[in-house]
Every structure is written in structure tokens, then in C-alpha cells.
Amino acid sequence: QVQLVESGGGLVQPGGSSRLSCAASGTIFRINNMAWHRQAPGREREMVAFVTSGGVTNYADSVKGRFTISRDNAKNTVYLQMNSLRPDDTAVYYCNAAVSSGRFSGTRTYWGQGTQVTVSS
């Protein structure tokens, strides 16, 4: 089994910054893509950003130029640096990771429990 534990978030003023972390633990042989998603009240969950095992990144148009995703493979951790936050960034943020638990095992996607980010004055 694999667990993803998120940290960071909370209440941030408009224009402010916040950093989210998500650490994976458990039976891990290899982590492929890692990503951040978010879900605002009354809306569907959307992908915010992902990063491949090789460091290639992709972002939703709504966060390009403001958010930066990164990962530390030695720590099995993915980060989301959020700058110039806006009220419409308010959501529960979830990380996920595509994990292989053995050399000959398939890949399974795991999700974190979510962390609330509220952007308000």
C-alpha cells in the first residue's frame, strides 16, 4: 500500500503565496507522474499541474505563470508553489501519484486526502 500525505494550504490573502507538499510513503519501487488537482465547491475536480518522473511539467491555463510544480525523487515528494493567488483559486487541493510497487508490478494511482486553500481578505 501507498499513502500520500499533503501539507500546507490554509487561509491566504489575494496576491499572496502558499506552498503545498505531498509525500508518498509505503511500498514504492517507482513513481511515474505526480500531479496536483483541485476541486472548488459546486465544481468538478480539475487538474492543476503534473510533473513526469523526468521533470517534464504541464499546467492548466488558469495557473500558468503563477504556479510551479516540482518534485524531489529522493524524498518521493511533490510540491506546488502558488504565487499571485486569487479568490478563484480557493479549493481543496489533492495530489496524486502513479506508483509501481515492484519491478514487475503494474502502475496504480493513489490520491492524497486533500488540503484546503482559501484565498480571501
Residue 81: predicted pLDDT: 98
Element holding 79 (H helix, E strand): strand 77-82
Give the contacts of 90 (CB within 8 A, at least 6 positions apart): 40, 117, 118, 119, 120
Average pLDDT in the chain: 96
pLDDT tens digits along 9-20 = 999 999 999 999
Sign of CA dihedral 42, 43, 49, 52: positive
Residues 91-112: b if buried by 16+ CB within 10 A, e if exposed? bbbbbbbbbbeeeeeeeeebeb
